[in-house]
Amino acid sequence: MKRLCASAGLDEADRAGALYAVHPGGPKILDRVRDVLALEERQIEASRRVLHEHGNMSSATVPHVWMDIARSADVEPGRAIISLAFGPGLTLCGNVMRKGAP
């Protein structure tokens, strides 16, 4: 995470204020990511909402989380979004983006 954020130019304040679009493979995955990264529940709420509404849709799930964040009037343009996806064999992919203007 430190390397991913550093490569995207995010400092600790950006990271602390970021939202996390985590692949919601299940509630335990979200709980573990939240706990390990010391996140607040609000930082992963879009992932939890998509899991609750749609279940785990495999690799298609993360774009639904992005859309939830993009459509939210509560998320201001410019907010950092750290996206994490997991695959077979404990593959991990990360991306950093910012919400654009409507």
Residue 71 is which amino acid?
Answer: R
**pLDDT at residue 102 above 90?**
no
Domain ranges of the chain: 2-98
Strand partners, 60: none
> pLDDT band at residue 38, thresholds of 50, 70 and 90?
very high
Q: Which of 40, 24, 19, 35 shows the shortest CA–CA distance to 82?
A: 19
pLDDT in tens, 5-35: 999 999 999 999 999 999 998 999 999 999 9
Superfamily for 2-98?
Answer: Thiolase/Chalcone synthase (3.40.47.10)
Q: What is the pLDDT of residue 71?
A: 95
Helix (H), strand (E) at residue 13: helix 12-17
Predicted pLDDT at 17? 93
